[in-house]
Structure 1
Amino acid sequence: MLAAAGFAGAAPAGATTLAEALAATYVNNPTLAAQRAGLRATDEQYGIVRAQGLPNAGVNGQLTQGVRNYQQFNGFGRITQVGGSLSVPVWQGGRVKNALRAADARVKSGQQSLRATEGDVFVQAVSAYMDVLRDRAIVDLNLNNVRVLETNLQATNDRFQAGDLTRTDVAQSKARLEGARSQLAAARATLTASEENYRATIGQAAGVLEQPPVMPLLPADADRAEATALDENPDIAAAAEQVMAYRADVSAARANRNPTVSASASESYYRYDDPAGGGLSGIRGGAVKGDYATVGATLTLPLYQGGLVGAQVRQAQAFESQALEQQVATERQVVATVRATFSNYRALIDTERSSGEQVRANTLALEGLRAEQSVGLRQVLDVLNGEQELLSSKVTLVSAQHDAYISGFQLLNAMGLVNYRRLGLAGGPLYDPQVHYARTRRSISDFATDPTPVATTRPTYGPAVPPEIPPVTPLAK
């Protein structure tokens, strides 16, 4: 549905494209990096559960040295013991098998949640990118308006000196100019906030930004958007995997009623020394030493556990019921979001179209007002009002273009179509969560650890925008 080619267009040298901004977000955003780390922690639960079904081996040693009156206790001055043991679970009643199924389902749910976070972060990045474009355009429009009003004030003063206009006309022109300067200051403050948000979200300063590509083709109606969301939305998939995990938990809890079988083997060496002799051991200056080995099997058959298993099963069933209801709630919320976003997107497209017509009409009206004012048919205030209306309509158009683009991207995200692969991004390695999970499933070493954790993203400081950036071109002219 989302054409990758739509985000691969060429840009002027030095300009940042939306695709490049999204690729930088994919690498630099700390929220996304934290979600990946959380998923890696979830991966390890599989190994923790699996260890309960694997052999357990160990060695032990003991050295006891008598210090005072030792012969009164054991007859030996020193006792040395060294041994090794091996325990092998043979049958766990199905508890480990079902716990592994639950762990696997939770990993899959976490992977879907990572997809959802990735989409949400990309929407935030698109919003930050479009905010900067919008606010730079609005600053440019307000700056141009100030220049026009400065020219108007100068012309009004000249005509006042010539006796064609009154002091009231001059005061009106000056008041309107000061109001425009105030609007320009507010627009610049808003732009600064947008540039800082861009840097916080994307991890780099907002330099020269290229206009975004055309929005990919969206569904023609809400029903098609809903059908796509039910198949692709990661939140729905994550909720379904959670149901599977809790269902496996029920089976694992029931397995606590089943018998378990384990096998064991051990080998021990011992040495008892009586260096002083004449002690209770009866060995003068000698020692007793030897070794022994054992093998065995243990069968545990639970008969009654005080109602523990029944409570565990009922608890797991309640959690499964909760997950089922949450799955329904998630589907409802996704459907509601898709339909509401689709409606909002269509409304914003209509607003953008109407705003464009309004700009064209106000442009013609202002030309007419200026012509009529030059021959005395209009007052200065009429021209000033026409200029203000044209400015307002241009700002409205810029905002409508901004809102419509973001709304379209939000719709794609609600449908589950916003991620690194579907956007066709480039510029860094793709993070595949399955790689870490596969490594976790293979690892059975007690000494396989990761390096000491360090932050993979860094704070950004310094000027938000390099001073050499030229004035921007508005979204709408």
Structure 2
Amino acid sequence: MLALTVRPASADTLQDALAHAYAYNTDLVAARAHLRSVDEQVPQALSGWRPSVTVNGGSGYQTFNTNTSRLIPAPFGYQQYYIGGNVQLKQPLYSGGGTVAGVAQAEANVRAARADLLGTEQTVLMNAATAYDDVLRSRALTALNREIEVLLRRKLREITIRKDAGQLTQTDIDQTASRLAAASANRITAEGNLAAADARFIAAVGRPPQEGMAVHGLPPIMPRNVGEAIRLAEANSPTVIASLFRLDAAQQAITVARASLMPNLSLQAQAGKDQGQSVPTVATNSASLTLNLSVPIYQGGAASSKLRQAKADAAESQIKTLSSRRDARKNAEAAFATWRAAVDRLAQEQIQVKLAESAYDGVRKEAALGAKSTFELLGQLQELFNARTNEVQARYDVSSNAYQLLVAIGRFTAADLRLRVQAFDPTENYNQVRNAASPFP
């Protein structure tokens, strides 16, 4: 099990955002509804074992007129009102193996749909986590751009005062003003990016981001090496799992199609009563018990075509299963490499920030003594700003790539992240409807 580490004393955490997305994201809610729909395939398939009961009834009015001879007409006739009805019960006994295979096919479809639901859950949570980090990153970059703008504005005032005192020239003022204009443009861009990040957060999570959003760490358990990542992906990837169950369903569909070419055996019982059907005022009671055997001889080629189609579908599913495994290995390997590269890059960016801070402090002191020019000071300030910007980008690239890696290995579900939510049980509805045989919905 994984757990996202979150710093306390915050108004909003990553777990809060993920929990809200888990409960209210429309894509996830729709996927759960789809699973409930697929669950119904099982009781539908099981109905092939159960009897069917039919009640028939009718009533009418009849008139009979007859002539005894063509030469000497002697008309004779009568009129009658009749009413009758019967009850039929049909119990299937053998259907060529189609019912057994149909139940197995439905069960496989349910398990494939459960895997699809996990895949949707991972995608929804990854989008929510990425949106959360995008807001944090955009806020950090906006604050950084505002800070450099304020610093340059203050520096412009200082240089203007020193120019009036004859210590600096108009060139120094122009250089600083140019840097300030660029910083203002960057700040406006950063604020626009922040507004866009807020909009993406609302779309992914379902509510606006809060003011006090906590900076979080990575899940404590990540794959130790690329081999482990590949093994986990092959075992846990929802895409791989779903493809395996779909292959099973496709193979069962072959037996279902073949059953239409096999004999069918059923038992039929019928009881009825007719009043005035043949002779007025006479009631007729009937009852029968019949063993019916149906052997298909020729069906216009439709049954054979469906069997060939089922075999082709199974071959397609087998190829897709191999493809899904290959893609899972490829995605896990690529995600692990990208994540490790992001981690290594972050370490170097942090070193660069420390060196840039030290260099700026030195240049600032030398500029105060006249040993460095305004141009050199502004250049070093820009270096420091760039280093801090790159460090912020690298920090959130690490977490974003970590999310993608966890999705690739199938470990970014609500259960894996230990979200504080009421977990959706994919078997609850299934257990309720599997053996439901009531004639009423």
**TM-score between both structures, scaled by the size of structure 2:** 0.93
| Pairwise CA distance, 1:117 | 1.3
1:34 aligns with 2:30: yes
| Pairwise CA distance, 1:82 | 2.3
Find 1:213's aligned residue among 217, 239, 262.
217
| Pairwise CA distance, 1:168 | 1.6
Looking at structure 1, the residues matched to 266 and 218 of structure 2 have their Cα atoms a distance apart, in angstroms, of 65
Match of 1:104 in 2: 107
| Pairwise CA distance, 1:338 | 0.6
| Pairwise CA distance, 1:71 | 4.7
Amino acid at match of 1:164: Q
Match of 2:311 in 1: 317
Amino acid at match of 2:9: P
Looking at structure 2, the residues matched to 235 and 36 of structure 1 have their Cα atoms a distance apart, in angstroms, of 17
| Aligned 8 A contact 1:215 1:405 in 2 | no
Match of 2:238 in 1: 234
1:345 aligns with 2:361: no
| Pairwise CA distance, 1:311 | 2.4
- Comparing 97-106 with 38-47, greater Cα deviation is found at 38-47
| Pairwise CA distance, 1:306 | 3.9
Shift in CA distance, 306/290, structure 1 to aligned 2, threshold 3 Å: closer
Amino acid at match of 2:185: S
Q: Deviations over 1:89-148 (max 9, x none)?
A: 111111111011111111111111111111111111110010001000001101111110
Match of 1:456 in 2: none
| Aligned 8 A contact 1:271 1:288 in 2 | yes
**TM-score between both structures, scaled by the size of structure 1:** 0.86
Shift in CA distance, 147/60, structure 1 to aligned 2, threshold 3 Å: same
Match of 1:329 in 2: 323
Residues 114-153 of structure 1 correspond to what in structure 2 (within 5 A)?
Answer: 114-153=117-156
| Pairwise CA distance, 1:51 | 2.0
- Comparing 303-312 with 216-225, greater Cα deviation is found at 303-312
Looking at structure 2, the residues matched to 75 and 129 of structure 1 have their Cα atoms a distance apart, in angstroms, of 88
Residues 358-437 of structure 1 correspond to what in structure 2 (within 5 A)?
Answer: 358-426=352-420, 428-437=421-430
- Match of 1:258, SS state, is coil
Q: Deviations over 1:159-217 (max 9, x none)?
A: 11111111121122112112111111110111111111111111111002111133323
- Match of 1:223, SS state, is helix
| Aligned 8 A contact 1:25 1:202 in 2 | yes
Looking at structure 2, the residues matched to 235 and 212 of structure 1 have their Cα atoms a distance apart, in angstroms, of 29
| Aligned 8 A contact 1:253 1:309 in 2 | yes
| Pairwise CA distance, 1:151 | 0.5
Looking at structure 2, the residues matched to 214 and 95 of structure 1 have their Cα atoms a distance apart, in angstroms, of 51
Segments of structure 1 that go 5 or more residues without pairing to the other structure are 274-280, 449-477
1:85 aligns with 2:88: yes
| Pairwise CA distance, 1:282 | 8.4
| Aligned 8 A contact 2:274 2:283 in 1 | yes
Looking at structure 2, the residues matched to 184 and 129 of structure 1 have their Cα atoms a distance apart, in angstroms, of 21
- Match of 1:442, SS state, is coil
Looking at structure 2, the residues matched to 439 and 225 of structure 1 have their Cα atoms a distance apart, in angstroms, of 37
1:195 aligns with 2:198: yes
Looking at structure 1, the residues matched to 38 and 65 of structure 2 have their Cα atoms a distance apart, in angstroms, of 56
Amino acid at match of 2:106: A
Looking at structure 2, the residues matched to 325 and 348 of structure 1 have their Cα atoms a distance apart, in angstroms, of 34
The number of aligned residues is: 430
Match of 2:53 in 1: 57
Looking at structure 2, the residues matched to 261 and 282 of structure 1 have their Cα atoms a distance apart, in angstroms, of 36
- Comparing 79-88 with 197-206, greater Cα deviation is found at 79-88
| Pairwise CA distance, 1:232 | 1.6
Match of 1:11 in 2: 8
| Pairwise CA distance, 1:44 | 1.0
Amino acid at match of 1:57: V
Amino acid at match of 1:315: Q
Amino acid at match of 1:255: A
Match of 1:155 in 2: 158
Amino acid at match of 2:253: D
| Aligned 8 A contact 1:229 1:416 in 2 | yes
Segments of structure 2 that go 5 or more residues without pairing to the other structure are 67-76
Looking at structure 2, the residues matched to 213 and 76 of structure 1 have their Cα atoms a distance apart, in angstroms, of 92
Match of 2:439 in 1: 446
| Aligned 8 A contact 1:76 1:272 in 2 | no
- Match of 1:214, SS state, is coil
1:251 aligns with 2:244: no
Find 1:269's aligned residue among 273, 282, 287.
273
| Aligned 8 A contact 2:267 2:292 in 1 | yes
| Aligned 8 A contact 2:18 2:419 in 1 | yes
| Pairwise CA distance, 1:367 | 1.0
Amino acid at match of 2:357: T
- Match of 2:276, SS state, is strand
| Pairwise CA distance, 1:224 | 1.5
